[in-house]
């Protein structure tokens, strides 16, 4: 009986690490990486399996871990919110393409402050994360928020503890708007934070902010909405304070020059435009150019092709931005050019 209990416990633990597709089989596609797009990938996977019978086991482990796993060839695809440079893609024999767009937002837990009420700027948020602004009634914050009663509470900074594309987008924005932040912390999926407590994944950051009074953190917009968190307004490059909205995410992406950037490596933070949300991001898929298991490679491409054609409404419902039709065409062309089986035959 004790042995049966141990086996049962191990089976439960193994199931818990699966992001979705609890009935995963050897024939299922496997992916790992960014937590930023997890809600929409989960929704797409559920609908795709109902439609085709083919499953997807996606581990929401952060962009850094996803990059490591695809390089090690332990998954069929990796997912990252930080695009890899062309040199690294070539070195690792990888190709990358965008799959979905969305926004990162700052969230707070301050008594008496309602969602969307507090106004913040990149330089001020950067100074909070540098440990220079430590109380909510600091003059730098109150000056932006006349009429908002802010307490003298200590600010608890919450950041990602794992390698994260969401962190890349957040730190890239802060680096573009605050020179000291760029020098002392910089922009990357994993940085050396000066202050604060860490949380694993968007889920961990959201949980910490909800738990800790006086805290501030950053999460993907879908997580903020799903968990009814108190988001803030942010000031964009044109000087406008905006509420997060998919129309503003689209505005930030409207001038992206996809064809001029190798590997589609567009970064959409701090984009010009009166309606551009300042921390807009693209989530990318990484695959090996030579597919040792051509059947799996074909299935991954079929899945994302299906998602581009059928998943737009679900993406919008979850506050993501589907790729524009012209970008989808560019992605499909990249599949034809870059993804081959071991014999050199195109898999798409």
Give pLDDT tens digits for 4-53. Answer: 444 343 333 333 334 444 444 556 999 999 988 999 999 999 999 999 99
Reported as a pLDDT band with limits 50, 70 and 90, residue 1 is: very low
**Do 141 and 245 fall within a single domain?**
yes
**Do 55 and 121 fall within a single domain?**
no
Q: Residues 6 or more apart from 6 whose CB is under 8 A from it? A: none
Q: Within a domain: residue 306?
A: yes
pLDDT of residue 258: 85
**Do 121 and 91 fall within a single domain?**
no
Q: Within a domain: residue 8?
A: no
Q: Within a domain: residue 162?
A: yes
**Do 109 and 221 fall within a single domain?**
yes
CATH number of the domain to which 36 belongs? 3.40.190.10
Q: Within a domain: residue 152?
A: yes
Range with the poorest average pLDDT among 44-48, 64-68, 75-79, 251-255: 251-255
**Do 108 and 231 fall within a single domain?**
yes
| Domain enclosing residue 81, as ranges | 30-102+281-341
pLDDT > 70: percent of the chain:
92
| Span 80-85, average pLDDT | 93
pLDDT of residue 63: 92
Range with the poorest average pLDDT among 19-28, 42-51, 98-107, 262-271: 19-28
| Span 81-87, average pLDDT | 93
Question: Cα separation of 105 and 205, whole Å?
Answer: 12
Q: Within a domain: residue 11?
A: no
Q: Quick one: which of 34, 81, 43 has its CA closest to 62?
A: 34
**Do 200 and 308 fall within a single domain?**
no
pLDDT of residue 257: 82
**Do 199 and 291 fall within a single domain?**
no
**Do 48 and 61 fall within a single domain?**
yes
Number of domains in the chain: 2
Question: Cα separation of 123 and 348, whole Å?
Answer: 46
| Span 322-346, average pLDDT | 95
**Do 98 and 108 fall within a single domain?**
no
**Cα torsion through 347, 298, 303, 102, rounded to 10:** -60
pLDDT of 271 higher than 80: yes
pTM for the model: 0.83
pLDDT of residue 25: 53
| Span 137-154, average pLDDT | 97
Helices first, then strands: H and E counts in the chain:
14, 14
**Do 44 and 93 fall within a single domain?**
yes
**Do 92 and 119 fall within a single domain?**
no
Q: Residues 6 or more apart from 342 whose CB is under 8 A from it? A: 290, 291, 292, 294
| Span 124-147, average pLDDT | 98
pLDDT of residue 192: 96
Q: Within a domain: residue 272?
A: no
**Do 48 and 186 fall within a single domain?**
no
Residue that terminates a domain, selected from 187, 221, 255: 255
Q: Within a domain: residue 5?
A: no
Q: Within a domain: residue 222?
A: yes
Helices within 130-267 (DSSP H only):
139-142, 165-177, 179-184, 201-211, 221-226, 246-253
pLDDT of residue 44: 98
| Span 117-127, average pLDDT | 98
pLDDT of residue 55: 96
């Amino acid at each position: 009986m004790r042995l049966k209990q141990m086996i049962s416990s191990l089976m439960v633990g193994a199931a818990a690490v699966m992001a979705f597709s609890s009935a995963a089989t050897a024939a299922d596609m496997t992916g790992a990486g960014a937590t930023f797009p997890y809600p929409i990938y989960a929704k797409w996977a559920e609908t795709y399996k109902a439609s085709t019978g083919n499953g997807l086991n996606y581990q929401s482990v952060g962009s850094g871990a996803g990059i490591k796993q695809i390089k090690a060839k332990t998954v069929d695809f990796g997912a990252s919110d930080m695009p890899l440079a062309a040199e690294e893609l070539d070195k690792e024999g990888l190709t990358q393409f965008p799959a979905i767009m969305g926004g990162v937002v700052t969230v707070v837990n301050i008594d008496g402050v309602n969602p969307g009420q507090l106004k913040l700027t990149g330089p001020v948020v950067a100074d909070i994360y540098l440990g220079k602004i430590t109380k909510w009634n600091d003059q730098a914050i109150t000056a932006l928020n006349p009429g908002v009663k802010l307490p003298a509470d200590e600010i608890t900074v919450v950041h990602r503890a794992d390698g994260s594309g969401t962190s890349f987008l957040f730190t890239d924005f802060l680096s573009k708007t605050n020179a000291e932040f760029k020098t002392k912390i910089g922009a990357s999926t994993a940085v050396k934070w000066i202050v604060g407590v860490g949380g694993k994944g968007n889920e961990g950051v959201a949980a910490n902010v909800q738990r800790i009074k006086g805290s501030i953190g950053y999460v993907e917009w879908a997580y903020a909405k799903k968990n009814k968190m108190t988001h803030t307004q942010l000031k964009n490059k044109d000087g406008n304070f905006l509420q997060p909205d998919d129309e503003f995410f689209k505005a930030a992406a409207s001038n992206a020059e996809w064809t001029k950037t190798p590997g589609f490596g567009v970064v959409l933070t701090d984009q010009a435009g009166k309606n551009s949300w300042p921390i807009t991001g693209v989530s990318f898929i990484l695959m090996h150019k030579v597919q040792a298991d051509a059947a799996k490679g074909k299935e991954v491409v079929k899945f994302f092709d299906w998602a581009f054609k059928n998943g737009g409404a679900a993406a919008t419902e979850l506050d993501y931005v589907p790729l524009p039709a012209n970008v989808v065409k560019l992605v499909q062309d990249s599949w034809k050019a870059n993804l081959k089986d071991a014999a050199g035959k195109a898999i798409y």
